[in-house]
Structure 1
Amino acid sequence: MPRILIVGGGYAGFYTALKLQKWLRPGEAEVVVIDPLPYMTYQPFLPEVAAGQIEPRHAVVSLRRHLNRTRIITAKVTGIDHAARTATITPEVGDAWQLEYDHIVVTAGSVSRTFPIPGVADEAIGMKAIEEAVAVRDRLIDNFARAALLPAGPERDRLLTVVVVGGGFAGIETFAELRSLASALLKEHPQLAIDDTHFHLIEAMGRIMPEVSLETSQWVLKNLAERDAIVHLDTQLTSAVDGVIELSTGESFQSDLIIWTAGVMANPVVRSTDLPVEERGRIRAQADLRVIDESGAVVEGAWTAGDVAAVPDLTGGGVGGFCVPNAQHAVRQGKRLAKNIVAVMRGEEPQDYVHKNLGAVAGLGLGHGVFQSGRIAIKGFPAWIAHRGYHGLAIPMFERKIRVFSGWLWNLLLGRDNVTLAAREEPQEYFQAFASRPKA
């Protein structure tokens, strides 16, 4: 029985496996998904997880539960030798081993793209994983509790200063959601006022959110300004050593929470393969999602999709002629890729992937949002409803949708839950503090 090996269980990998389960006949092929995590993260929900509007477990989808006819291997792929049709699998515990395959699907996604700015690697945190969103939420809530016990001064200012680097959708949504959370926390700490909090977003370009119109992006800037959130345009972060923020404008201040959302790059796992990559480090692909070499010839048995792939955008709307790295493309590419693999296995011709961007929708904190589709723009509360409706329905699997919508309902009725579990990072500390030990 031929084996289809899927590297990465994110959007594209999850939907490829999900649809292969549906369209393959019993015994027609074995499908294997390899990912170091046992779940797919629905990344558009990370800002709301960071703001405490969504329970973290509700923003992830279990691979084993929903890919129940797929073999799941929780490990890393550390090498691909496509010439020999083998992949090197490295588990967290135990020795690495080789797995043979007939078809390989590389959907390893992307990672945060950073620059060698002093202090960023040591002080900042990303917003690509559920663990990062939870850590940001806990840090902000705990910082407010600490600051409420301090007199006005540099230390309190540092705890109440939040910095987000990057003015794309991820950065703006994270920035706005955390501003909304901070406003809610002020009600629990009467010792603090909104003037004590400092929110800074740093964007190197002259505008934010290039996916929407200039008019819409300007409305977002106005909305944030009304909520005492500062956006620095045409500004670069030059240093973050020890939490001391230095900007290209000469401004300097301290922050205990620095969040990096300034772009993504293809997962470096592609560097450990013999598959052809282009200048930006993405795997070369043609429109039917088959991997191609530098001459344009198809690499038999190799497929790719999602953020790790350079897939031509046949609608002409992509940056540089390629599909932009977002969930809209990854989900739909995964579905098309599954159909094409089945077609090729049955001696049929694969079809090209074509998808025209449907628009963009962003949540900007409780009751605030924007929606843009062509020239149509909706702002404020209606757009916030549209954002929740779209993403609540877009998260895969019916049981996840129920959990998300019910969570929103309970928050509406009971209010935001601002309890942190930051002590979970050192779960043995409480036990060890009182545990008896043998005398020396």
Structure 2
Amino acid sequence: MPKILIVGGGYAGFYTAWKLEKTLRKGEAEVTIVDPLPYMTYQPFLPEVAAGSIEARHSVVSLRRHLKRTRILTGKITGIDHANRSATVTPDVGEPFTETYDQIVVTAGAVSRTFPIPGIADNAIGLKTIEEAVAIRDQLLDNFDKAAMLPAGPERDRLLTVVVVGGGFAGIEVFAELRSFASSLLGKYPNITFEDTHFHLIEAMGRIMPEVSLPTSEWVLKDLAKRGAHVHLDTQVKGAIDGNVELSTGETLPSDLIIWTAGVMANPTVVRGSDLPVEERGRIRTRADLRVGTDEEIVEGAWAAGDVSAVPDLSGGGVGGMCVPNAQHAVRQGKLLAKNITAVLRGEEPKEYFHKNLGAVAGLGLYNGVFQSGKIALKGFVAWLAHRGYHGLAMPTWERKFRVLWGWWNNLWLGRDIVSLSSVQNPRYVFEEFAARPRPAEPEKKGDADTEKAAAR
């Protein structure tokens, strides 16, 4: 029976395995998926998780629960030897081992792309994982609790200052959502005023949200300004040592919460550890039919999709002729990938991937959003409804959809939960503080030692 190995359980990987279970006949192939995490993260929900609008566990999809006929391996692929059709799996516990295959599907996704700016690696946090979104939410809540106990001054200002680096969709969404979240907290902290909170977004280009039209992005800027949020265009971060964000304009912003959303790159662990062809931007070179290779040469038995791959955009709308790294492409590529692999196993020809961008939709906090499709632009409450409607439907599996929709319904009447669980990172702190420990041995007295020596003589 042919073995299909899927590297990565994100959008593209999960959808490939999920659809393969539906297209493959029983016994037609054995499917294995390898990922260090046992779940797929629906990343468009991360800004709402950070703002407390969605329960963290509701925005992830369990691989073991929803992939009924797929073999799940929790570990990292640290090497791909396609010449010998084998891959090295490195689990968290135990020794690395070799997994053989007939067809490999590389869908390892992307990670945050940073630059060697002093202090960023030590003080900033990304927004690519559910753990990061939860940490951002908890830290903002903790900072409000700490600031409420301090008099006005530099330390209080630092705690109530949020800096987001990157003005793309992810940056704008988390920036606007956190601004909305912070405003909603003020009623619970009577000694903190709106003017005490400071939100800054840093963007190196002269505009934000290149996915939408210029008039739409300008509307977003005006809307953020009305809500007391500051956007610094044509500005770069020069340093963030000890949380002091130094800007190219000469300004310094002391902050206790620095969020980095300025770009992504293909998963370097998988790409560098494989013998598959790679293009100049570090992505796996992929054909329009999602097979690895070029128009002139096909790497038999190798497929790629999602953010880790360079797939030609046949619609003509992609940057540099390639599909941009977003969920819209990853989901659709994963679905087609399952059909194409099944077709090849049955001696049929695979189809080329073609998808014209449907538009872009972003949430800007509760009851506010923006939507762009061609020349059509929606703003405000209507766009916010479109945002929730689209992503509510796009969330895979009915079980997950129901949990997300039920959470939104509850929040509508009950409000967002504002409990911080940052202490979960150190769950034993109370137990350790009060746990009884053996008393240290008492030092031996000199007189007793002399007596023992005399007795020994």
Q: TM-score, normalised by structure 1?
A: 0.99
SS in 1 for 2:83: coil
1:122 aligns with 2:155: no
Tell me, in whole angstroms, the C-alpha distance in 2 between the residues paired with 1:321 and 1:362: 24
Tell me, in whole angstroms, the C-alpha distance in 2 between the residues paired with 1:83 and 1:296: 19
1:49 aligns with 2:49: yes
1:367-403: CA deviations, max 9, x gaps? 1100000000000000001100100110000010000
1:42-101: CA deviations, max 9, x gaps? 000000000000000000000000001100001000000000000000000000000100
Tell me, in whole angstroms, the C-alpha distance in 1 between the residues paired with 2:78 and 2:118: 29
Residue 90 (structure 1) aligns with: 90
Residue 228 (structure 1) aligns with: 228
Residue 189 (structure 1) aligns with: 189
Residue 176 (structure 2) aligns with: 176
SS in 2 for 1:230: strand
Amino acid at match of 1:270: V
Tell me, in whole angstroms, the C-alpha distance in 2 between the residues paired with 1:316 and 1:437: 68
Tell me, in whole angstroms, the C-alpha distance in 2 between the residues paired with 1:417 and 1:105: 40
Tell me, in whole angstroms, the C-alpha distance in 2 between the residues paired with 1:125 and 1:419: 21
Tell me, in whole angstroms, the C-alpha distance in 2 between the residues paired with 1:242 and 1:149: 22
Tell me, in whole angstroms, the C-alpha distance in 1 between the residues paired with 2:296 and 2:392: 40
1:278 aligns with 2:279: yes
1:207 aligns with 2:207: yes
Residue 374 (structure 1) aligns with: 374
1:335 aligns with 2:327: no
SS in 2 for 1:83: helix
Tell me, in whole angstroms, the C-alpha distance in 2 between the residues paired with 1:98 and 1:408: 44
Amino acid at match of 2:287: Q
Amino acid at match of 1:416: R
Amino acid at match of 1:431: F
1:280-308: CA deviations, max 9, x gaps? 00000110000015x83000000000000
Residue 39 (structure 1) aligns with: 39
Amino acid at match of 1:289: L
Residue 77 (structure 1) aligns with: 77
Residue 110 (structure 1) aligns with: 110
Amino acid at match of 1:34: V
Paired residues for 1:135-174 under 5 Å: 135-174=135-174
1:144-196: CA deviations, max 9, x gaps? 01001100000000000000000000000000000011001111101010110
Tell me, in whole angstroms, the C-alpha distance in 2 between the residues paired with 1:374 and 1:14: 30
Question: Structure 2: any 5+ residue segments left out of the alignment?
Answer: 441-457
Amino acid at match of 2:305: A
SS in 2 for 1:300: strand
Paired residues for 1:233-244 under 5 Å: 233-244=233-244
1:211-241: CA deviations, max 9, x gaps? 0000000000000000000000000000000
Tell me, in whole angstroms, the C-alpha distance in 2 between the residues paired with 1:43 and 1:253: 28
Residue 453 (structure 2) aligns with: none
Cα distance, 1:106 vs. partner?
0.1
Tell me, in whole angstroms, the C-alpha distance in 2 between the residues paired with 1:187 and 1:218: 30
Residue 30 (structure 1) aligns with: 30
Residue 352 (structure 1) aligns with: 352
Cα distance, 1:273 vs. partner?
0.3
Tell me, in whole angstroms, the C-alpha distance in 2 between the residues paired with 1:39 and 1:106: 17
Tell me, in whole angstroms, the C-alpha distance in 1 between the residues paired with 2:243 and 2:26: 56
Tell me, in whole angstroms, the C-alpha distance in 2 between the residues paired with 1:54 and 1:430: 29
Structure number with larger C-alpha Rg: 2
Question: Structure 1: any 5+ residue segments left out of the alignment?
Answer: none
Residue 444 (structure 2) aligns with: none
Residue 308 (structure 1) aligns with: 308
Tell me, in whole angstroms, the C-alpha distance in 1 between the residues paired with 2:266 and 2:276: 14
Tell me, in whole angstroms, the C-alpha distance in 2 between the residues paired with 1:398 and 1:340: 25
1:287 aligns with 2:257: no
SS in 1 for 2:320: coil
Amino acid at match of 1:237: V
Tell me, in whole angstroms, the C-alpha distance in 2 between the residues paired with 1:214 and 1:24: 46
Tell me, in whole angstroms, the C-alpha distance in 2 between the residues paired with 1:291 and 1:392: 32
Residue 448 (structure 2) aligns with: none
SS in 2 for 1:288: coil
Tell me, in whole angstroms, the C-alpha distance in 2 between the residues paired with 1:9 and 1:408: 26
1:309-345: CA deviations, max 9, x gaps? 0000001000000000000000000011110000011
Amino acid at match of 2:189: H
Cα distance, 1:253 vs. partner?
2.1
SS in 1 for 2:84: coil
Residue 259 (structure 2) aligns with: 259
Q: CA RMSD in A?
A: 0.6
SS in 2 for 1:200: strand
SS in 2 for 1:31: strand
Amino acid at match of 1:329: H
Residue 9 (structure 2) aligns with: 9
The total of aligned residue pairs comes to 439
SS in 1 for 2:372: strand
Residue 323 (structure 1) aligns with: 323
Amino acid at match of 1:8: G
Tell me, in whole angstroms, the C-alpha distance in 2 between the residues paired with 1:296 and 1:108: 25
Q: TM-score, normalised by structure 2?
A: 0.96
Tell me, in whole angstroms, the C-alpha distance in 2 between the residues paired with 1:382 and 1:234: 31
Tell me, in whole angstroms, the C-alpha distance in 1 between the residues paired with 2:149 and 2:83: 63
Residue 426 (structure 1) aligns with: 426
Amino acid at match of 2:137: R
Amino acid at match of 1:159: L
Cα distance, 1:416 vs. partner?
1.1
